[in-house]
Amino acid sequence: MTNSAQAGQATAREDSGGFTHRQILTALSGLLLAILLGALDQTIVSTAMRTIADQLHGQTVQAWATTGYLVASTIAMPLYGKLSDIYGRKPMYLVAIAVFIVGSIGCALSTSMVMLAVARIVQGLGGAGLMSLPTAIIGDMAPIRDRARYFTYSTVVWVGASVIGPIVGGVFAGTASIAGISGWRWAFLINVPLGLLALLTVYKLLKLRHQRVDHRIDYWGGATLALAVIPLLVVAEQGMTWGWGSGISITMYALAAVGTVLFVLQERRMGEEGILPLHMFRRGGITLCLAVAFTIGVGMFGTVTTLPLYLQLVQGMSPTSAGLLIIPLMAGAVVSQGTAGAVIKATGRYKPIALAGLGSMAGGLLGLSFTGPDTPLWVTILLVAWVGLGIGVAITTIMLAVQNAAPKSELGVANASVSLFRQLGASIGVSALLTVMFTVTAARVGALFSDTTGNDPFHQALRDPDVMSKPANSKLHEVAQNANGTGIDLNDTSFLHQLDPQLARPVVDSFAAGCQSMFLVASFVLWVGFCMTWFLKEMRIEDHEKQAAEPSRAEA
């Protein structure tokens, strides 16, 4: 064996902390259990939320239970990153699991929607660590060439949760009581045994070496970051209800702007001890990577959230069938992530793969923008799988690009930054995409009903008393009259596919137009991310491995 090869292997061992493949898989068993805990919670609770709101008499405020979790988890991500760099990944991961269990118990004991929202905030504080720390832990254990290989395992867990979660959530929501406890409460109680098992497994099996670096805790940085981000997340969740240009929305924008300025000033004052050190954003194109991560969040979560809605409204699928079509997307992500890991390991290059991933996501969404009620199911499945192929590659390579550019001492912060920006893209992007869909749909439906002289089959049937007197069509007549000729209530579409075809088809076409516009906007956002990736200055993994073997500037 040559001296250079021996040096390369030694460097790789140092970069990975000296863990063997078997040791990494053993440690992963605990991580994956904790990831499953967080992933299952999100899919189970989202399915059961409508029943929960009915039971707690809080249907009109149920969004705050979701918003509370989202805000808490998003804000806590960079905190976990910084604290894990100081105190170690394992202690912070154990804290995250424990907090998540406490929050879950609080949710199960809730007697009002307000109490549930508060408990979901606590749960979100734990969930942030469950979701953001695993990739940093893998970064501590595995050399960068092999990390994509291990990232695939977490994606498989998400696929399983996306399939099992809605089914389990439906069972809990549809059962009056289990063991004398209301069925919906088990959507949270199930987290307790799973969480305790994850806690024990991580404690026993995750063995990481950590060299503590003493820093001041940047409390004011966390506070100003919260002021910058929370208003944006709240308006993203409530913007359609409040109105994007309403007084309260504008106030939220102003608070976010003030928070951003204060955050930058605080981080400049704290220097390397900041919660998100500003100097990190000048390293190896990290800022560009975070911007790309934002677009990935829009594309990934926008597709996962809106695709079932499209399949139900436009193609008339049942909720269960629509949910199952997420499987091709997740399966595509798993396949591409594994393939990307093998290519990166062999070549040490990730930029070309990142371009392929962003291009695949953008192309798949562009294809979906041309689908409609008559599109064959197999075409939709192929397009969804194409988007999934892009998601698996894009997430992996952008995360690797940031980890490759960040110093070992700031791996947790850099990793959390990617999760933060991807989550912001998801929250803001999904709200924006749904707004596009409902705005276009409302305009089309409004024009449909405002035309009282049309001689097409729809308007003829709408004026025919015999047609409109049928039970299946009476709902349309009712909402059309209540809307005073301006359209229908888009919040209630349960009757849509029960209508006579001549009445249903124009309304379905209106929803199709809204969904097409939504997918087109999402595709445009991903093409922007694709173009930004072209300007990413790739740092070859070999160079990173050489730097990892050298004393850091702080150590020197």
pLDDT score for 211: 62
Give residue 486's pLDDT.
44
Separation CA 220–CA 263 (nearest Å): 8
Of 30, 218, 58, 8, give the one whose Cα is nearest residue 137: 30
Q: For residue 9, is pLDDT > 50?
A: no
Mean pLDDT over 181-192 rounds to 87
The answer to whether residue 62 scores a pLDDT higher than 80 is: no
Structural domain range at position 112: 10-208
Non-local (6+) Cβ contacts of 245 within 8 A are: none
Instruction: Report pLDDT digits (tens) over 321-351.
Output: 776 777 788 788 888 887 887 888 777 788 8
Tell me how far apart the alpha carbons of residues 123 and 41 are, in angstroms, rounded to a whole number.
10
Which residues are within 8 A (CB) of 531 and not within 5 positions of it... i.e. 6 or more apart? none
pLDDT greater than 60 at residue 555:
no
SS3 of 154-207: the string is HHHHHHHHHHHHHHHHHHHHHCCEECCEEHHHHHHHCHHHHHHHHHHHHHHHCC
Q: According to the model, what pLDDT value does residue 546 have?
A: 53
Domain membership of residue 431 (yes or no) is no
Question: Average pLDDT in the 65-78 region?
Answer: 81
Q: CA–CA distance from 281 to each of 284, 402, 537 (Å)?
A: 8, 10, 14
Q: pLDDT band for position 556 (50/70/90)? A: very low
> Can you give the pLDDT at residue 549?
46
Q: Report residue 137's pLDDT band, with 50, 70 and 90 as the boundaries.
A: confident
Give the pLDDT band of residue 540 (cuts 50, 70, 90). Answer: low
Q: Which has the higher per-residue pLDDT, 406 or 104?
A: 104
Confidence of residue 490 (pLDDT cuts 50, 70, 90): low
Distance between CA atoms of 212 and 495, rounded to whole angstroms?
60
pLDDT grade for 150, boundaries at 50, 70 and 90: confident
pLDDT tens, 252-292? Answer: 999 999 999 998 898 888 887 777 888 777 776 788 888 99
Highest mean pLDDT among 55-69, 108-122, 128-142, 172-186: 108-122
Within a domain: 370: no
Asked whether residue 501 carries a pLDDT value surpassing 60, the answer given is: yes
In a domain, residue 449? The reply is no
Q: Is the pLDDT reported for residue 315 higher than 80? A: yes
Interval 396-418 mean pLDDT: 79
Check whether 71 has a pLDDT greater than 70. Answer: yes
C-alpha 256: how far from its chain's center?
21
Q: What is the pLDDT of residue 17?
A: 53
* Residue 527: pLDDT band with limits 50, 70, 90: very high
Q: Which of 354, 219, 231 is nearest to 291 (CA)?
A: 354
Torsion of CA 100, 101, 102, 103, to 10 degrees: 50
Whether the predicted pLDDT of 139 surpasses 50: yes
Report the run of H or E that residue 356 belongs to, with start and end. Answer: helix 351-368
Nearest to 389 by CA among 349, 436, 338: 338
Checking if the pLDDT of 148 tops 90, the result is: no
| Enclosing H/E stretch for 300 | helix 286-313
C-beta separation of 96 from 129 below 8 A:
yes
pTM (2 d.p.) = 0.77
pLDDT of residue 543: 54
Q: What is the mean pLDDT of the chain?
A: 79
Alpha-carbon distance of 138 to 341, in angstroms, equals: 14
10 Å CB burial of residue 492 (0-12, 13-18, 19+) is exposed
With a cut of 60, say whether residue 26 has pLDDT above it: yes
Q: Which of 35-39, 254-258, 365-369, 462-466 has the lowest mean pLDDT?
A: 462-466
Q: How confident is the model at residue 85 (pLDDT cuts 50, 70, 90)?
A: confident
Chain centroid, CA 262 distance in Å: 27
The CATH number of residue 76's host domain is 1.20.1250.20
- 418 domain residue, yes or no: no
Report pLDDT for 112: 86
Least confident of 157-171, 338-352, 380-394: 157-171
Phi/psi class of residue 485: alpha, beta or left (left: φ > 0; alpha: ψ in -120 to 50)?
A: left
Residue 477 has pLDDT above 80, yes or no: no
Residue-wise pLDDT tens digits, 200-238? 988 888 877 766 666 677 788 888 888 888 888 888 777
* 402 has pLDDT over 60: yes
Whole-number Å distance between alpha carbons of 28 and 448: 55
Retrieve residue 61's tokens.
């405020």
Number of other residues whose CB lies within 10 A of the CB of residue 512: 23
How large is the average pLDDT for residues 463-475? 71
pLDDT category of residue 146 using cuts at 50, 70 and 90: confident
Average pLDDT for 151-162: 76
**Sign of CA pseudo-dihedral 84, 86, 91, 92:** negative
Total structural domains in the chain?
A: 1
Q: How far apart are the first and last CA of the chain?
A: 31
Domain annotation covers residue 94: yes
- Top-confidence residue, 214 or 108: 108
Per-residue pLDDT tens digits for 297-312: 888 877 777 787 788 7
For helices 219-242 and 247-270, the axis angle rounded to 10 degrees is 160
The arithmetic mean of pLDDT across residues 339-365, rounded, is 86
Query: For residue 199, is pLDDT > 60?
Result: yes
pLDDT higher than threshold 70 for residue 521:
yes
Average pLDDT, stretch 420-444? 83
pLDDT at position 554 over 50? no
Residue 430 lies in a domain: no
Is 386 inside a domain boundary?
no
Confidence (pLDDT) at 39 = 80
Question: Which carries the bigger pLDDT value, residue 89 or residue 322?
Answer: 89
Task: Report pLDDT for 526.
Answer: 93
Range from 122-126, 247-251, 290-294, 315-319 carrying the lowest mean pLDDT? 315-319
Model confidence at 152: pLDDT above 90: no
At residue 484, the pLDDT reads 47
The pLDDT-based confidence of 494 (bands split at 50, 70, 90) is low
For residue 148, tell me if it sits in a domain.
Answer: yes
